[in-house]
Amino acid sequence: MAGKSTARPRKLPVYLYIPNIIGYVRVLMNCVAFAICFSNKRLFSVLYFLSFVCDGVDGWCARKFNQVSTFGAVLDMITDRVSTACLLVLLSQVYRPGLSFLLLLALDISSHWLQMYSTFLTGKVSHKDVKDSTNWLFKAYYGNRMFMAFCCVACALHHFIPSRGEAN
């Protein structure tokens, strides 16, 4: 058959997947946000929040466009951990006593590491695969995207809304 191409469509390299490009943008937004965190608090808040929103968008895009990858999962996890760590270190400098924020940082890193490690020990591909878990909280958090989104948004907003008696 002359004129018909038998070549298969080229597969996109994993580095150019849409969710990974969103991940790169998140990294850039976080770098800018933390570089200006003391000089422009409003812009810092906007950039950090947009990065937070993009964290949900990249996962949605990965599933929607079938562009799920180990590279993307690692990029997402590292970006999440580093941005949370930077925020907690920043808050430990602004609010006293800072030790409570550093303890939260240790809890965040250790809990995610343990969850990832236990996932791989059981042979699962994703740390979000909790179908056979006996822990009701894991099932509620990872099994219901709306509940997970609510928890993430509430946690992020908690860091930005001053409690009673704190100055703005």
Could you tell me if 22 and 43 are in contact, meaning their C-beta atoms sit under 8 angstroms apart? no
Establish whether 80 is a catalytic residue. yes
Helices (runs of H) and strands (runs of E) counted in the chain: 6, 0
| Catalytic-role residue among 55, 76, 80, 132 | 80
Nearest-angstrom CA–CA distance, 28 and 7 = 37
The three-state (H, E, C) secondary structure of 46-57, written as one string = HHHHHHHHHHHH
Could you tell me if 27 and 80 are in contact, meaning their C-beta atoms sit under 8 angstroms apart? no
Three-class DSSP category at 44: helix
Residue type, 121: L
Catalytic sites, residue numbers: 80
